[in-house]
Chain A
Amino acid sequence: AQSVAQPEDQVNVAEGNPLTVKCTYSVSGNPYLFWYVQYPNRGLQFLLKYITGDNLVKGSYGFEAEFNKSQTSFHLKKPSALVSDSALYFCAVRDGGRNSNDMRFGAGTRLTVKP
């Protein structure tokens, strides 16, 4: 069965600094990987996905993520953080080798960007 771990409950960065939100995964087949962002009392918004191809994936709002198969990681990055990036970020994985709708979400990482 697939699973995903977000090792940090909280990440704090200063505005203008680069940010990284970590995610590691476990699947038996090929991983389909996703990042979502959630603002307070709102639904999740899709940021980006990795299905196949280039290991560096670019998404919405200047975010990108790097797929690393050997480290089974899919860390979310942004070169220069904004205060408005402060939110809850979720990593998710689906096993692409199975005909399944089963998507597993991490517990979330709360990002705080301070002015």
Chain B
Amino acid sequence: GNSVTQMEGPVTLSEEAFLTINCTYTATGYPSLFWYVQYPGEGLQLLLKATKADDKGSNKGFEATYRKETTSFHLEKGSVQVSDSAVYFCALSLMQGGGNKLTFGTGTQLKVEL
């Protein structure tokens, strides 16, 4: 079956530190890959996505590259801010049965301190 594995949190960083959150996946086909973010008290928001191998998704200073050879989609940011504190979910979707249901990882909580 399809699955997503994320590094466990919480991850605690100082402001302006470099961030990496690891994500690997298992899929029966060629999935699209996503990072969603959930800020405290808010719903899930799409952060970035990549639809094919070697694509790089980017948004708000975050980046992730679709690596088919390592089945990975690691999230990176060069300099985190306190406002980046949230839970980050890696997810995949496959075009099956006409739908694009998402399979999520367990989430990684990020805490950024001054």
Are A and B co-members of a single complex? no
The chain B residues found within 8 Å of chain A, CB to CB, are none
